[in-house]
Structure 1
Amino acid sequence: MISFGMGGARRAVAVVAVFALLASGAAMAGAQPWQLNMPPGVTSISQRIHGVHMLALWICVFIGVIVYGAMIYAMFKFRKSRGAVAAKWSHNTMLEAIWTTIPILILIAMAWPATKLLIDMANVENSEMTIKVTGYQWKWRYEYVDYFGKATPVNFISTLDEQSNRVRQTGSGLDPHSVKEGNENVYLLNVDKPLVLPVGVKVRFVITADDVIHSWWVPELGWKQDAIPGIINDNWTRIDTAGTYRGQCAELCGRDHGFMPIVVKAIPKAEFEQWLATQQAASSASKTAQAAPAAALPATQG
């Protein structure tokens, strides 16, 4: 007979409590060291995904406790050494009806919110802003297509930041733990130009690739979307909380797959509009400067 003792029982309770805390994830918006559960995220969709996930998890935990509890109880209570004699019966119609009906009800309870969530995730209608994302080996291009119905000719390439790129080189001798932003280690997680988005605005993403299949993934947004050459996929988000959210390419896309991170910087709407105006002005000035030398060239004689 197995005996845990009082110390063992206390340790078991502590372990269960820790796992329950990690599983809840309620206090954590982003992934933390040793976190076992998915983050709730910073969008309504990501939080609903987390809710459906937790519903399924606790249903499975409940079923596991009932099934394994009954099994362990039967193993000890009705073991042969205590003189238990196995019952002889073929089936029980009522029990079979119960254990067929209950799983069906459980599946319906899980499928209803999940199906509604999938429908809402695919609904990009009434978007207030459109961003085109193009994956390359091994970087991302972001094009601000429109903002509240107005064209916004701003686009740029976002690639691994210079410090991480320098540290990652073979034989660099540099310490990856030295790559920090504030107190956060951002080695291989930072970029030279983040994707800047406004808080509280529904943003539609149209996602594709120019060479091979990539996958655009920021866990706190609650979804990832494949970027496939020749195909346009779309998705949407509305970020509720200002902050910096990091992700990575989630599709093995070649030699430097591990070196094409994603950084989304969400800022208040007014601040975003100022940033966007500055980017548009810089883009216009750059185009004017490029056009000036061409206009100054003399016409060729026929």
Structure 2
Amino acid sequence: MNKTKQLFASLVLTFLSLGTAQASDYALNMMKGTTWLSRAVYDLHMQILWICVVIGIAVFGVMFYSIFHHRKSKGHKAAQFYHNTMVEVIWISIPTIIIVVMGWLATSLMREMYNADKEGNDRNDYDMTVLVTGYQFYWEYKILGKDGADDIKIVSKLDKKSDDASRDEDIEPLNVPNYMLNVTEPLVIPIKKKIRYVLTSADVIHSWWVPDFGWKKDANPGYTNEAWARVEDAPWMNTDDSDIEKCTTAPKEQWTEADKQICSSVKSWADIDKSAWVNSKNPVGEGFWKSVKVAGVYRGQCTELCGVGHGYMPVVVVALKQADYDKWVQIKQNGSAVPPKPPCDAGVNSCDDREALLLKGNQVYVEECSACHGRNGEGGGAPALNGSSKVAGDTSALAQFILNKVPMANIAKNLDDPELAGVVTYIADRFGNQKQALVLPSAIQEIRAGGGSAASTSTDKSTDEKTEIAADADVSATLTLEELVSKGEVIYGKECAGCHQATGEGMPPMFPALTSSAVATGKIDAQVNLMLNGKNAMPAFGKSLNAVDFAAVLAYTRNKLGNSAGDFKQPADIQALIAALPADAE
């Protein structure tokens, strides 16, 4: 009997500890968060938990009572019966009532999470909207204005200190503040405003999660998800300057409980390292952040495995009082708090200096490219650059490839002309290629404008002839399978082998194998549709290949690389499909 009492006491203590787990450093419970929704989710969680606790105590209580008080040693014999109508009615009715109650509680909260009225329609009572777009491997935010002209764009990447510590064995991660949870520029929002978040992706599936908001949402390419949050009710949000001054002027003995909470928030804000948020691309400088006396900082992560750099996608949201937020908006739209550094900051004044471009290119490569291509160009999550035919070819084609090929295009669009010129020069020169190339920022500007070529001093032009593929515009010609496969081998080597590899084994999971794949051995129309429109990191080849090249690479992938589907499409069939594509896909 003593053991029974000890077991019961331990169970009681375990359940009581749940109430204090929230306050411990090693929290076993959900966090309450800082929004109405997060607290509502927490309250629902606790209601359901205690319902389950009561059910558990009742069920196990009856079970243990039956085991101990009807045991054989006391002379009890097992009753022989098959059913009891009353018991069966009870054990069906009570669970049904419990499920209905739990469902009603959950449905009511779900309706609020979707901001739906009683008829199920969106209330559409938001104060502002933030467009959240996931890229490999960073977040882009747009705080939408009324007419589009007032949109505020934020590019939020992993901060340099965390990035350096993750790649350099000599740097101790424990010495880096908020290691892997800090960014180059946070999303800034006002407090006490109902904000709609519209989430999507430009490449693969990501997921945006800030625990303090009480929800997470997937960001899917080609689709949008929505959620909302209102940061409110923290003690510091209802303060003025005089309340904050108490933290430095009034003795701690005179602080009220509210003062302690306010001053704790003020100290937490002051202790945050904000240096990562100050850079030449962000007009909001150190002076602004010093002027903010208190703010809320809420951190999260991408929670959908999205590639080799998945862990490099933290989320940081800074919530400001309305006056501070208005000042931030004014600086973002009109001012520049940080004097821009020379784009080729290498002890020289000219961006045409090759050594300056190489230095800039090395910096950009380490920060933006090495996670996929490897620090020494050895590849891994993306093709190797060492000895790559594409890198060894024309630097103009290389620059255009980087600008237009997903996922690299998602990175290149946030690089200025000197940065992109530097990284192209660096890639072409390093990794065993030794081309002595020089790509000028002015050439990158011309390419972005739709013309021109990246001027280069390359001493090796022989590879251009090897990669040159004559365009065949005669889509009316009827070609045999052998002719298409022969031509397709060349096109595949140029357009596809970099990701899917020359033998078709791919580099899963980012670049799937084509050998024996369900796509290359399945229905040909499904593969045609996939190639026409693209998916995830694969571009839409209906936009970049002519009909003959398209039909050729289609035939090659289905009848070589270990596949033997035996089918193919004529260029005329492909041309008709390309012509039918929507205007924005052409």
Which TM bucket (shorter chain)?
Answer: 0.7 to 0.9
Contact in 2 for aligned 1:131/1:146 (Cα 8 Å): no
Q: Does 1:84 align with 2:83?
A: no
Give the structure 2 partner of residue 243 of structure 1: 296
Q: Which runs of 5+ in 1 are unaligned?
A: 181-185, 295-302
| Identity of matched residues, % | 42
Q: Does 1:113 align with 2:105?
A: yes
Give the structure 1 partner of residue 162 of structure 2: 164
Contact in 1 for aligned 2:207/2:219 (Cα 8 Å): yes
SS at 1:140 equivalent: strand
Structure 1 residue aligned with 2:172, among 175, 178, 198? Answer: 175
Q: Distance in 2 between matches of 1:86 and 1:209?
A: 63
Over 3 Å counting, the alpha-carbon distance change for 1:60 and 1:14 in structure 2 is closer
Contact in 1 for aligned 2:145/2:152 (Cα 8 Å): no
Mapping 1:6-85, distance limit 5 Å: 14-22=13-21, 25=22, 33-85=25-77
Deviation at 1:2, TM superposition (A): 6.5
Aligned residues: 273
Q: Distance in 2 between matches of 1:218 and 1:112?
A: 26
Q: Distance in 2 between matches of 1:111 and 1:5?
A: 35
Q: Distance in 1 between matches of 2:77 and 2:113?
A: 55
Per residue, is there more helix in 1 or in 2? 2
Give the structure 2 partner of residue 145 of structure 1: 144
Per residue, is there more strand in 1 or in 2? 1
Give the structure 2 partner of residue 226 of structure 1: 218
Q: Distance in 2 between matches of 1:70 and 1:228?
A: 49
Q: Does 1:275 align with 2:274?
A: no
Name which of structure 1's ranges 64-73 and 245-254 shifts more when overlaid on structure 2: 64-73
Deviation at 1:13, TM superposition (A): 5.5
Q: Distance in 1 between matches of 2:149 and 2:19?
A: 48
Name which of structure 1's ranges 216-225 and 111-120 shifts more when overlaid on structure 2: 111-120
2:17 alignment partner AA: V
Deviation at 1:4, TM superposition (A): 7.4
Give the structure 2 partner of residue 183 of structure 1: none
The Cα offsets for residues 201-229 of structure 1, whole Å up to 9 and x where unpaired, read as 01111111111000001011011111111
Q: Distance in 2 between matches of 1:154 and 1:89?
A: 73
TM-score (norm 1): 0.83
Deviation at 1:21, TM superposition (A): 2.1
The Cα offsets for residues 121-155 of structure 1, whole Å up to 9 and x where unpaired, read as 112611111111110111000111127x8853210
Give the structure 1 partner of residue 313 of structure 2: 260
Q: Distance in 1 between matches of 2:11 and 2:95?
A: 30
Q: Does 1:134 align with 2:133?
A: yes
Contact in 1 for aligned 2:154/2:187 (Cα 8 Å): no
SS at 1:146 equivalent: coil
SS at 1:117 equivalent: helix
Give the structure 2 partner of residue 194 of structure 1: 186
Contact in 2 for aligned 1:203/1:238 (Cα 8 Å): yes
Q: Which runs of 5+ in 2 are unaligned?
A: 116-121, 235-294, 341-415, 417-441, 446-586
Deviation at 1:20, TM superposition (A): 3.8
SS at 2:317 equivalent: strand
Which is greater in Rg? 2
Over 3 Å counting, the alpha-carbon distance change for 1:9 and 1:83 in structure 2 is closer
Contact in 1 for aligned 2:18/2:29 (Cα 8 Å): no
Over 3 Å counting, the alpha-carbon distance change for 1:261 and 1:131 in structure 2 is same
Deviation at 1:11, TM superposition (A): 6.5
Give the structure 2 partner of residue 101 of structure 1: 93
Instruction: Determine which structure has greater relative contact order: mean sequence separation of CA pairs < 8 Å that are 6+ residues apart, divided by chain length.
Output: 1
Give the structure 2 partner of residue 3 of structure 1: 3
2:150 alignment partner AA: T
Over 3 Å counting, the alpha-carbon distance change for 1:65 and 1:12 in structure 2 is closer
